[in-house]
Amino acid sequence: MDNFQVHVDDSSTSRVCSGPNFLSDLIQGDGEAERFVIHVGSNSYILFLTSTSYPYPEWEATDAVEFCRYTITKSKTYGVCIFSLADSKLMNEGSSAKCMVLSILKTTSHGAASVRDVQTFRFMKQSAPGLPGVGMNRISSCVGRRSCLVALLTILAVLVASAVAFLALHSAPYHSKEGIWERYNIEGSRGPRYQLQFDHHNVSEWEERYPNPNQEWFLRIDDQAMIPLDLVTDEELRYQHWFQERYSEANNIRLEGKYLQTAFLSDPDIIQVPVDKTFHMAHCVVALRRYWTARESKSHVCPRDIDYRHMKHCLDALDMWAFPEGPQHSLPLSGHDSSMHNHDGHKSRIRNNGYWIDESDDSRLIWKTKVCFD
Protein backbone atom coordinates (compact mmCIF):
# COMPACT_ATOMS: atom_id res chain seq x y z
CA MET A 1 0.00 0.00 0.00
CA ASP A 2 2.91 2.36 0.75
CA ASN A 3 3.91 2.64 -2.93
CA PHE A 4 0.53 3.95 -4.10
CA GLN A 5 1.22 7.14 -6.06
CA VAL A 6 -0.94 10.22 -6.53
CA HIS A 7 -0.26 13.44 -8.41
CA VAL A 8 -0.21 16.48 -6.15
CA ASP A 9 -1.55 19.56 -7.97
CA ASP A 10 -1.29 21.85 -4.95
CA SER A 11 -0.18 21.65 -1.33
CA SER A 12 -0.57 23.92 1.67
CA THR A 13 2.75 22.74 3.10
CA SER A 14 6.31 23.07 1.84
CA ARG A 15 7.15 19.50 2.84
CA VAL A 16 5.24 18.14 -0.16
CA CYS A 17 6.00 19.45 -3.66
CA SER A 18 3.71 19.37 -6.67
CA GLY A 19 4.00 16.35 -8.91
CA PRO A 20 4.02 12.58 -8.28
CA ASN A 21 4.10 11.64 -4.59
CA PHE A 22 3.53 8.57 -2.51
CA LEU A 23 0.20 8.70 -0.70
CA SER A 24 1.94 7.61 2.50
CA ASP A 25 4.21 10.68 2.38
CA LEU A 26 1.16 12.95 2.36
CA ILE A 27 -0.58 11.26 5.27
CA GLN A 28 2.41 10.57 7.49
CA GLY A 29 2.98 14.25 8.13
CA ASP A 30 4.15 16.32 11.07
CA GLY A 31 0.78 16.58 12.81
CA GLU A 32 -0.12 20.05 11.55
CA ALA A 33 -3.27 21.03 9.61
CA GLU A 34 -2.64 20.51 5.89
CA ARG A 35 -4.54 20.51 2.62
CA PHE A 36 -3.68 18.78 -0.65
CA VAL A 37 -5.29 18.91 -4.09
CA ILE A 38 -4.49 15.66 -5.88
CA HIS A 39 -5.62 13.67 -8.87
CA VAL A 40 -5.42 9.98 -9.77
CA GLY A 41 -6.18 9.31 -13.39
CA SER A 42 -9.09 11.56 -14.37
CA ASN A 43 -10.43 11.93 -10.81
CA SER A 44 -9.60 14.91 -8.58
CA TYR A 45 -9.66 14.92 -4.78
CA ILE A 46 -9.19 17.38 -1.93
CA LEU A 47 -7.46 15.85 1.06
CA PHE A 48 -7.48 17.52 4.49
CA LEU A 49 -5.47 16.60 7.58
CA THR A 50 -6.45 18.25 10.86
CA SER A 51 -5.44 17.48 14.44
CA THR A 52 -7.93 16.22 17.02
CA SER A 53 -8.00 15.32 20.70
CA TYR A 54 -9.81 12.01 20.07
CA PRO A 55 -8.37 9.53 22.65
CA TYR A 56 -6.73 6.25 21.65
CA PRO A 57 -7.74 5.89 17.98
CA GLU A 58 -7.67 2.33 16.70
CA TRP A 59 -6.01 3.26 13.41
CA GLU A 60 -2.40 4.14 12.72
CA ALA A 61 -1.06 6.12 9.76
CA THR A 62 -0.65 2.94 7.69
CA ASP A 63 -4.35 2.19 8.18
CA ALA A 64 -5.27 5.72 7.06
CA VAL A 65 -3.14 5.25 3.93
CA GLU A 66 -4.89 1.97 3.14
CA PHE A 67 -8.32 3.54 3.75
CA CYS A 68 -7.49 6.53 1.55
CA ARG A 69 -6.25 4.26 -1.23
CA TYR A 70 -9.46 2.23 -0.97
CA THR A 71 -11.57 5.40 -1.20
CA ILE A 72 -9.72 6.46 -4.36
CA THR A 73 -9.59 3.10 -6.15
CA LYS A 74 -13.29 2.44 -5.45
CA SER A 75 -14.23 5.98 -6.60
CA LYS A 76 -16.00 6.76 -3.33
CA THR A 77 -17.46 10.27 -3.03
CA TYR A 78 -15.83 10.99 0.32
CA GLY A 79 -14.20 9.35 3.30
CA VAL A 80 -13.27 10.34 6.84
CA CYS A 81 -11.19 8.52 9.44
CA ILE A 82 -9.25 9.21 12.64
CA PHE A 83 -5.75 7.85 13.17
CA SER A 84 -2.66 8.26 15.31
CA LEU A 85 0.74 9.34 14.03
CA ALA A 86 2.39 7.05 16.61
CA ASP A 87 2.71 3.29 16.69
CA SER A 88 -0.12 1.62 18.65
CA LYS A 89 2.38 -0.37 20.74
CA LEU A 90 4.01 2.85 21.93
CA MET A 91 0.59 4.28 22.77
CA ASN A 92 -0.23 1.21 24.85
CA GLU A 93 2.96 1.87 26.82
CA GLY A 94 1.68 5.32 27.74
CA SER A 95 3.43 7.64 25.30
CA SER A 96 1.48 10.56 23.89
CA ALA A 97 0.64 10.75 20.20
CA LYS A 98 -0.79 13.29 17.82
CA CYS A 99 -4.20 12.19 16.52
CA MET A 100 -5.42 13.34 13.13
CA VAL A 101 -8.67 13.51 11.18
CA LEU A 102 -8.28 12.65 7.51
CA SER A 103 -11.01 13.92 5.17
CA ILE A 104 -10.92 13.12 1.47
CA LEU A 105 -13.49 14.53 -0.94
CA LYS A 106 -13.90 13.67 -4.60
CA THR A 107 -14.45 16.79 -6.67
CA THR A 108 -14.50 18.12 -10.22
CA SER A 109 -11.50 19.69 -11.95
CA HIS A 110 -13.19 23.10 -11.51
CA GLY A 111 -13.64 22.50 -7.80
CA ALA A 112 -10.03 21.40 -7.43
CA ALA A 113 -8.75 24.45 -9.29
CA SER A 114 -10.81 26.76 -7.07
CA VAL A 115 -9.17 25.71 -3.82
CA ARG A 116 -5.56 25.51 -4.93
CA ASP A 117 -4.48 28.80 -3.39
CA VAL A 118 -3.16 28.83 0.18
CA GLN A 119 -5.31 31.87 0.97
CA THR A 120 -8.49 29.77 0.68
CA PHE A 121 -7.08 27.23 3.10
CA ARG A 122 -6.13 30.02 5.53
CA PHE A 123 -9.71 31.31 5.54
CA MET A 124 -10.98 27.79 6.10
CA LYS A 125 -8.74 27.31 9.14
CA GLN A 126 -9.71 30.66 10.64
CA SER A 127 -13.45 30.06 10.43
CA ALA A 128 -13.50 26.57 11.99
CA PRO A 129 -10.34 25.58 13.90
CA GLY A 130 -9.75 21.86 13.64
CA LEU A 131 -12.20 21.40 10.77
CA PRO A 132 -12.25 22.73 7.20
CA GLY A 133 -14.23 25.97 6.82
CA VAL A 134 -14.43 29.26 4.90
CA GLY A 135 -14.44 32.96 5.87
CA MET A 136 -17.34 35.32 5.17
CA ASN A 137 -15.15 37.78 3.25
CA ARG A 138 -14.23 34.93 0.93
CA ILE A 139 -17.90 34.17 0.42
CA SER A 140 -18.83 37.78 -0.45
CA SER A 141 -16.00 38.04 -2.96
CA CYS A 142 -17.08 34.84 -4.67
CA VAL A 143 -20.78 35.63 -5.17
CA GLY A 144 -21.76 35.41 -8.80
CA ARG A 145 -18.64 33.64 -9.96
CA ARG A 146 -19.16 30.09 -11.18
CA SER A 147 -15.74 28.77 -10.21
CA CYS A 148 -16.02 30.16 -6.71
CA LEU A 149 -19.52 28.79 -6.35
CA VAL A 150 -18.12 25.36 -7.14
CA ALA A 151 -15.41 25.95 -4.55
CA LEU A 152 -17.91 27.00 -1.90
CA LEU A 153 -20.10 23.98 -2.57
CA THR A 154 -17.03 21.76 -2.38
CA ILE A 155 -15.95 23.29 0.92
CA LEU A 156 -19.49 23.03 2.29
CA ALA A 157 -19.56 19.35 1.39
CA VAL A 158 -16.27 18.82 3.23
CA LEU A 159 -17.67 20.68 6.25
CA VAL A 160 -20.78 18.48 6.36
CA ALA A 161 -18.84 15.25 5.83
CA SER A 162 -16.26 16.18 8.45
CA ALA A 163 -18.83 17.31 11.01
CA VAL A 164 -20.94 14.17 10.60
CA ALA A 165 -17.89 11.95 10.86
CA PHE A 166 -16.57 13.91 13.84
CA LEU A 167 -19.82 13.45 15.76
CA ALA A 168 -20.12 9.80 14.78
CA LEU A 169 -16.56 9.01 15.75
CA HIS A 170 -16.98 10.65 19.15
CA SER A 171 -20.30 8.96 19.95
CA ALA A 172 -19.40 5.34 19.24
CA PRO A 173 -16.35 3.19 19.93
CA TYR A 174 -16.33 1.57 16.49
CA HIS A 175 -16.97 3.13 13.13
CA SER A 176 -17.88 1.96 9.66
CA LYS A 177 -19.30 3.94 6.80
CA GLU A 178 -19.57 3.14 3.10
CA GLY A 179 -17.08 0.30 3.02
CA ILE A 180 -14.53 1.52 5.56
CA TRP A 181 -12.39 -1.34 6.76
CA GLU A 182 -12.55 -1.77 10.52
CA ARG A 183 -9.03 -2.38 11.78
CA TYR A 184 -8.24 -3.83 15.19
CA ASN A 185 -4.97 -4.64 16.89
CA ILE A 186 -4.46 -8.37 16.23
CA GLU A 187 -0.75 -8.51 17.00
CA GLY A 188 0.27 -11.96 18.19
CA SER A 189 -2.94 -13.65 17.04
CA ARG A 190 -3.78 -15.64 13.93
CA GLY A 191 -7.05 -15.05 12.12
CA PRO A 192 -8.94 -12.67 9.82
CA ARG A 193 -7.41 -9.18 9.64
CA TYR A 194 -10.46 -7.22 8.58
CA GLN A 195 -14.03 -6.62 9.66
CA LEU A 196 -16.33 -4.83 7.23
CA GLN A 197 -19.67 -3.45 8.40
CA PHE A 198 -22.43 -3.34 5.81
CA ASP A 199 -25.09 -0.75 5.17
CA HIS A 200 -27.30 -0.01 2.18
CA HIS A 201 -24.43 1.85 0.46
CA ASN A 202 -21.92 -0.98 0.22
CA VAL A 203 -23.79 -4.28 0.61
CA SER A 204 -24.85 -4.70 -3.04
CA GLU A 205 -21.36 -5.72 -4.22
CA TRP A 206 -21.11 -8.41 -1.56
CA GLU A 207 -24.70 -9.53 -2.18
CA GLU A 208 -23.87 -10.10 -5.85
CA ARG A 209 -20.73 -12.04 -4.95
CA TYR A 210 -22.51 -14.29 -2.43
CA PRO A 211 -26.16 -14.76 -3.52
CA ASN A 212 -26.51 -17.67 -1.06
CA PRO A 213 -24.78 -16.34 2.07
CA ASN A 214 -25.86 -19.16 4.37
CA GLN A 215 -23.89 -21.61 2.21
CA GLU A 216 -20.70 -19.53 2.32
CA TRP A 217 -20.71 -17.99 5.79
CA PHE A 218 -21.94 -18.63 9.31
CA LEU A 219 -23.85 -15.77 10.93
CA ARG A 220 -23.49 -15.15 14.66
CA ILE A 221 -26.75 -13.61 15.81
CA ASP A 222 -25.44 -11.94 18.98
CA ASP A 223 -23.02 -9.60 17.13
CA GLN A 224 -24.35 -10.07 13.56
CA ALA A 225 -20.89 -11.12 12.40
CA MET A 226 -20.39 -13.36 9.38
CA ILE A 227 -17.50 -15.76 9.89
CA PRO A 228 -15.97 -18.38 7.54
CA LEU A 229 -17.64 -21.76 7.93
CA ASP A 230 -14.36 -23.51 8.68
CA LEU A 231 -13.86 -21.36 11.80
CA VAL A 232 -17.12 -22.38 13.49
CA THR A 233 -16.57 -24.52 16.61
CA ASP A 234 -18.95 -26.85 18.43
CA GLU A 235 -18.96 -24.42 21.35
CA GLU A 236 -20.00 -21.55 19.08
CA LEU A 237 -22.74 -23.71 17.58
CA ARG A 238 -24.08 -24.44 21.08
CA TYR A 239 -24.32 -20.75 21.96
CA GLN A 240 -25.79 -19.79 18.60
CA HIS A 241 -28.46 -22.48 18.91
CA TRP A 242 -29.54 -20.79 22.15
CA PHE A 243 -29.77 -17.37 20.43
CA GLN A 244 -31.63 -18.89 17.47
CA GLU A 245 -34.19 -20.59 19.70
CA ARG A 246 -34.78 -17.65 22.03
CA TYR A 247 -34.84 -14.80 19.47
CA SER A 248 -37.01 -15.94 16.57
CA GLU A 249 -37.19 -12.55 14.84
CA ALA A 250 -33.40 -12.31 14.69
CA ASN A 251 -33.13 -15.91 13.55
CA ASN A 252 -35.60 -15.27 10.71
CA ILE A 253 -33.28 -12.55 9.42
CA ARG A 254 -30.56 -15.20 9.29
CA LEU A 255 -32.70 -17.89 7.68
CA GLU A 256 -34.13 -15.58 5.02
CA GLY A 257 -30.78 -13.96 4.21
CA LYS A 258 -32.13 -10.47 4.89
CA TYR A 259 -28.90 -9.43 6.62
CA LEU A 260 -27.29 -8.94 3.19
CA GLN A 261 -30.25 -7.29 1.47
CA THR A 262 -30.18 -3.59 0.62
CA ALA A 263 -33.90 -3.17 1.34
CA PHE A 264 -33.48 -4.53 4.86
CA LEU A 265 -30.36 -2.56 5.79
CA SER A 266 -31.78 0.70 4.41
CA ASP A 267 -34.92 0.65 6.57
CA PRO A 268 -34.25 2.29 9.97
CA ASP A 269 -37.36 0.68 11.45
CA ILE A 270 -37.02 -2.97 10.50
CA ILE A 271 -33.36 -3.16 11.55
CA GLN A 272 -34.59 -2.58 15.12
CA VAL A 273 -35.08 -6.22 16.03
CA PRO A 274 -37.07 -7.17 19.18
CA VAL A 275 -34.93 -8.85 21.86
CA ASP A 276 -34.92 -8.54 25.67
CA LYS A 277 -32.70 -7.40 28.54
CA THR A 278 -30.98 -10.79 28.62
CA PHE A 279 -29.65 -10.43 25.07
CA HIS A 280 -26.85 -7.99 25.85
CA MET A 281 -25.71 -9.89 28.93
CA ALA A 282 -25.67 -13.16 26.99
CA HIS A 283 -23.68 -11.55 24.18
CA CYS A 284 -21.11 -10.22 26.65
CA VAL A 285 -20.66 -13.62 28.30
CA VAL A 286 -20.07 -15.22 24.88
CA ALA A 287 -17.81 -12.34 23.82
CA LEU A 288 -15.62 -12.80 26.91
CA ARG A 289 -15.42 -16.54 26.26
CA ARG A 290 -14.33 -15.85 22.67
CA TYR A 291 -11.72 -13.42 23.97
CA TRP A 292 -10.40 -15.94 26.50
CA THR A 293 -10.29 -18.74 23.90
CA ALA A 294 -8.55 -16.53 21.34
CA ARG A 295 -5.94 -15.28 23.78
CA GLU A 296 -5.22 -18.78 25.07
CA SER A 297 -4.95 -20.28 21.58
CA LYS A 298 -3.43 -17.15 19.96
CA SER A 299 -6.04 -17.57 17.23
CA HIS A 300 -9.15 -15.42 16.74
CA VAL A 301 -12.24 -15.64 14.52
CA CYS A 302 -13.09 -11.92 14.21
CA PRO A 303 -10.70 -9.03 14.89
CA ARG A 304 -13.16 -7.43 17.33
CA ASP A 305 -13.20 -10.66 19.37
CA ILE A 306 -9.83 -9.64 20.84
CA ASP A 307 -10.41 -5.89 20.98
CA TYR A 308 -9.61 -4.30 24.35
CA ARG A 309 -12.39 -1.69 24.17
CA HIS A 310 -15.04 -4.26 23.31
CA MET A 311 -14.04 -6.40 26.27
CA LYS A 312 -13.99 -3.43 28.63
CA HIS A 313 -17.49 -2.48 27.48
CA CYS A 314 -18.78 -5.98 28.19
CA LEU A 315 -17.06 -6.17 31.59
CA ASP A 316 -18.59 -2.82 32.53
CA ALA A 317 -22.04 -4.10 31.51
CA LEU A 318 -21.60 -7.32 33.49
CA ASP A 319 -20.45 -5.29 36.50
CA MET A 320 -23.78 -3.46 36.53
CA TRP A 321 -25.64 -6.76 36.45
CA ALA A 322 -23.47 -8.70 38.91
CA PHE A 323 -23.11 -6.02 41.60
CA PRO A 324 -26.57 -4.51 42.20
CA GLU A 325 -27.18 -1.95 44.91
CA GLY A 326 -28.92 -3.11 48.07
CA PRO A 327 -28.60 -5.58 50.96
CA GLN A 328 -28.28 -9.36 50.80
CA HIS A 329 -31.00 -11.15 48.79
CA SER A 330 -32.04 -7.91 47.05
CA LEU A 331 -32.35 -7.88 43.28
CA PRO A 332 -31.75 -5.19 40.63
CA LEU A 333 -34.79 -2.99 40.01
CA SER A 334 -34.75 -3.55 36.26
CA GLY A 335 -36.81 -6.56 35.26
CA HIS A 336 -38.35 -7.21 38.70
CA ASP A 337 -41.56 -6.35 40.51
CA SER A 338 -40.74 -2.71 41.33
CA SER A 339 -40.32 -1.85 37.65
CA MET A 340 -42.90 -4.19 36.14
CA HIS A 341 -46.11 -2.19 36.29
CA ASN A 342 -47.96 -0.79 33.31
CA HIS A 343 -49.77 2.56 33.14
CA ASP A 344 -52.78 1.10 34.98
CA GLY A 345 -50.63 0.03 37.91
CA HIS A 346 -50.87 -3.68 37.10
CA LYS A 347 -47.85 -5.91 36.84
CA SER A 348 -46.91 -6.42 33.22
CA ARG A 349 -45.67 -9.99 33.51
CA ILE A 350 -47.48 -13.23 32.81
CA ARG A 351 -46.89 -16.89 33.61
CA ASN A 352 -46.23 -18.97 30.52
CA ASN A 353 -45.23 -22.66 30.63
CA GLY A 354 -43.60 -22.23 34.01
CA TYR A 355 -41.74 -19.01 33.13
CA TRP A 356 -42.44 -15.42 34.02
CA ILE A 357 -42.70 -13.23 30.88
CA ASP A 358 -41.97 -9.52 31.24
CA GLU A 359 -44.28 -7.83 28.74
CA SER A 360 -42.86 -4.39 29.57
CA ASP A 361 -39.46 -5.31 28.12
CA ASP A 362 -39.25 -3.52 24.78
CA SER A 363 -35.51 -3.97 24.23
CA ARG A 364 -34.32 -3.65 20.64
CA LEU A 365 -31.25 -4.87 18.79
CA ILE A 366 -30.04 -2.46 16.11
CA TRP A 367 -28.97 -4.95 13.44
CA LYS A 368 -25.51 -4.26 11.98
CA THR A 369 -24.25 -6.95 9.64
CA LYS A 370 -20.49 -7.27 9.38
CA VAL A 371 -18.11 -9.81 7.86
CA CYS A 372 -14.73 -11.02 9.15
CA PHE A 373 -12.19 -11.96 6.50
CA ASP A 374 -8.60 -11.71 5.32
Mean pLDDT of all residues in 23-44: 86
Encode pLDDT of 53-87 as tens digits. 765 566 788 888 888 888 898 888 888 888 888 65
Mean pLDDT of all residues in 306-316: 91
Which of 146-160, 246-260, 296-310, 317-331 is least confident? 146-160
- Count of positions (residues) in the chain: 374
What is the separation, in whole angstroms, between the first and last Cα of the chain?
Answer: 15
Q: Is the pLDDT of residue 213 over 70?
A: yes
Q: Is the pLDDT of residue 157 over 60?
A: no
Alpha carbon 53 to chain centroid, angstroms: 18
Which of 99-103, 199-203, 252-256, 347-351 is least confident? 347-351
Q: Are 121 and 35 in contact (CB under 8 A)?
A: yes
Q: Are 125 and 133 in contact (CB under 8 A)?
A: yes
Strand blocks (E) in 1-77? 5-11, 19-22, 34-40, 43-52, 59-60
Encode pLDDT of 272-290 as tens digits. 999 998 999 999 999 999 9
At residue 216 the predicted structure's pLDDT band, cuts being 50, 70 and 90, is confident
Q: Are 163 and 48 in contact (CB under 8 A)?
A: no
User: Widest CA span of the chain, in angstroms?
Assistant: 76
The stretches of the chain forming alpha helices (DSSP H) are: 23-27, 61-73, 88-92, 109-114, 118-127, 136-142, 146-171, 203-209, 213-216, 234-246, 248-255, 262-265, 277-297, 308-322
Encode pLDDT of 83-98 as tens digits. 888 654 434 444 456 7
| Pairwise pLDDT comparison (158 vs 321), residue with the higher score | 321
- Percentage of residues in the chain having pLDDT higher than 70: 68
Q: 130: which residues sit within 8 A by CB, 6+ positions away?
A: 33, 50, 51, 52, 101
